[in-house]
Chain A
Amino acid sequence: MINALPGAIELGLLYSLMALGVYITFRILNFPDLTVDGSFTTGAGIAAVMIINGYPAWISSVAAFGGGLAAGLCTGLLHTKGKINGLLSGILMMIALYSINMRIMGKPNTSLRGTETLFTDVSPLVVMPFLVLGVKVLLDLFLHSDLGLALRATGDNPLMIQSFGANTDNTKILGVSLSNGLVALSGALIAQQSGFADISMGIGMIVIGLASVIIGEAIFGSRTVIQATFAVILGSIIYRIVVALALRVGWFEASDLKVITAVIVIIALVVPTFQRYWRQKQAARRRAEELGNRIQ
């Protein structure tokens, strides 16, 4: 079990950038963005193709981030200017990206064997903590800038921030772009770590992102932005540990992963609702009894 831990931490760190992207849309903008399933592969595809064609790995990774920004921009425009329902905008982009990703890669699977990637000379376990921490700090700083405050208020109380002069269309587009940029960067890193990009590698990514956000916030709290981004990163790592443990149970197969993930998210979404309901009911009963005693 212990020897599975480094691998789980490594994957958790690589996927944590994707989870931070999902945090931006799902938690900050209150916008469940399904573009993620497509843009993750877009990032992986762009990075893989560029590296194969001899571009340095870091330039390819930055380009993948840019590709994600563009994908998010399209979803944001569909939702704000096209007035298409948020979920549907994401689904439309996800489907469109499948074809675009195929065009980028030219074939369903692109191998990076024998190429120079970010992780050729140094293990992800060494690089990723610094990279993830750097992204986290930059994101924290951004979310405390004037622009970042307007972005957060767009998810919290859009009417209020409009009355203070922010264009919420623009803040939404910015948030969704940034989110998908991080998702694509995560895809680019996963491709370099695993040595290939695959057309179906993004399927279910949104649910994994949600699971990471929810698990992290439940365990480590989300009182402030700084705490929440930290929790999301740790949530991503814990998710990978849970998956590694689940796969040790002989009865499970690798293809059961998606249903396990879905169940984790469902539990995490349902339990707090029931808890709140029971707590309120108990509090009400207690108060009613108190009042009854007083009258007698």
Chain B
Amino acid sequence: MMLTISNVTKLFNPGTPDEKVALFNINLRLKPGDFVTVIGSNGAGKSTLMNVISGVLQPDTGEVFIEGRPIHHLPEYKRSKWIGRVFQDPMAGTAPNMTIEENLAMALARGKRRGLRFGVNRSKRAMFREQLERLGIGLEDRLKAKVGLLSGGERQALSLLMATFTQPKILLLDEHTAALDPARAELITRLTEEIIRDLKLTTLMVTHNMEQAIRLGNRLIMMDKGRIILDIDEGRKKDLTVEELLAEFERISGHKLADDRVVLG
């Protein structure tokens, strides 16, 4: 197994009137190369699940393993050796006052000891240019531009490249197209598909776009109130429609999928 989550529970504000069970007894196993889409209502625990895997949060009980190695006790900066991440906010994944090549250099140093060698040198620059060309949006000619000058779509494309080009064992995508306009979202989705396919990355992708959740990946899980309530494999997912998916959600959870940003497709 590439990723194993066993019996993970996470509470917020335990023992207070605001207590919230964000994750309850979650079990999830991802094989190498699995591309799992995650859907669910607001507050279902999707982002908490991402944070428990990446190390932003520590689970209260339960364990997280990457390739059999327990990692739930490690802080985020140590886990990031194995985990690539793209956030919803295009501003979150890059340093705005640093150049494109400097941002890529920081991503390249993922999991390595950071020493006093030049962050950017000639051979790295050639490699960055080659990687940026794959995005097809002309960033390869703007290596020395500050990232803060890029548009949201361009920044998210760069974030995606930075999260993936070092081939992490796990890729976490947290609604990473949600803040973009439809055209840019489409571009980022296409790039995401290509990169995951080419690098065979084991991926967990939270999305509020039902059509995308069905079309992308080889597995779909549905979350509600901190639990995984449905796990659909590749065979069943292929013929699924958005209507069927929503009906299935209502049948199991007993309420409608409540997500103010939900996109049906």
Q: Chain A residues with Cβ under 8 A from B115's Cβ?
A: 145-147
Residues of B within 8 A of A165 (CB): 77-78, 80-81, 109-112
Contact between A152 and B80, CB atoms less than 8 A apart: no
Q: Which of B76, B106, B116, B117 contacts A153 (CB 8 A)?
A: B106
Interface size class on chain B is 20 to 34
Contacts A165-B81, A166-B77; A149 near B97 (Cβ below 8 A):
no
* Contacting pair B98 A156 (CB below 8 A): yes
Answer whether residue B2 sits at the interface, using C-beta atoms and an 8 A cutoff: no
Instruction: Write the residues of chain B forming the contact surface with A, with a CB cutoff of 8 angstroms.
Output: 54, 75-78, 80-81, 85, 91-98, 102, 105-107, 109-112, 114-120, 162
Contact (Cβ within 8 A) A149 B105: yes
For residue A229, give the distance in angstroms from its CB to the closest CB of chain B.
Answer: 15
**Contacting residue for B94 out of A144, A147, A150, A157, CB 8 A:** A157
Q: Using known A-B contacts A162-B77, A167-B77, determine if residue A153 contacts B107 with beta carbons closer than 8 Å.
A: no
Is residue A160 within 8 Å, beta carbon to beta carbon, of the partner chain? Answer: yes
**Within 8 Å CB of B91, what residues of A?**
157
Most chain-A CB neighbours within 10 Å: which of B54, B98, B107, B111?
B98
Query: Which residues in window 88-147 of A have CB below 8 A to B?
Result: 142, 144-147
Contact A149 B98 (CB under 8 A): yes
What CA separation (Å) do A173 and B259 show in the bound complex? Answer: 42
A146 and B77 in contact, given A157-B96, A160-B92 (Cβ under 8 angstroms): no
Given A164-B109, A165-B78, 8 further pairs, Cβ under 8 A: A146-B112, A157-B92, A160-B94, A160-B95, A165-B81, A166-B106, A166-B114, A168-B77
A150–B85 contact, CB under 8 A? no
Chain A residues positioned under 8 Å from B111 (CB to CB):
165
Is A195 close to B, CB under 8 A?
no
> Which residues of chain B come closer than 8 Å to A159, judged between CB atoms?
92
Please give me the residue from chain A that is nearest to B83 by CB atom. Answer: A163
Given known contacts A162-B76, A163-B85, A165-B80, is B117 in contact with A146 (CB within 8 Å)? yes
A152, A157, A164: the one within 8 Å of B107 (CB): A164
